Homo-oligomer: A and B are copies of this chain.
Amino acid sequence: MRVVHPTPDYPQLLRGADLRVTRPRVAVLGAVHAHPHADTESIIGAVRADLPEVSHQAVYDSLRTLAAAGLVRRIQPAGSVARYEARIGDNHHHLVCRSCGTVVDVDCAVGEAPCLTASDDHGFTIDEAEVVFWGLCPACSPTRS
């Protein structure tokens, strides 16, 4: 079995979401695909490798638009700035290092989205169950003998 990861056609993804295709949006979408869980500043840096003149506001606007359209997901672990990823629609979860802030993906252990049911929904209409595992990454863990 062979899993293929063709480079996504970003303009097509944008059109499919009824969004205008602009150079900043294409570059931002590409940067998010290339740098999972990157924060806005990193994305601005990556985008400027292609478009040296993009404004930070264009990146902020693009990220917001892409997130609203469901083309990217925005996450924000407590104490962190916003981070973005292109892995969407699979309700996966995250492992966050308390020391360095590194974020890694964790497949949902239970099932489909939402993967968990609240014991008492208090009358809420729940649409997502977000799980964040906190701890220390290998690099930040105290070395054992």
Contacts and interface: CB of A to CB of B under 8 A. Distances in A.
Interface residues of A, number: 40
Contact of A104 (B79, B122, B133): B122
A145 B61 CA distance: 37
Given A109-B118, A116-B109, A126 B135 contact: yes
A134 B138 contact: no
A138 B109 contact: no
Nearest to A93: B118
11 contacts: A75-B78, A78-B82, A106-B118, A106-B122, A109-B116, A109-B119, A122-B138, A123-B137, A125-B136, A127-B135, A128-B135
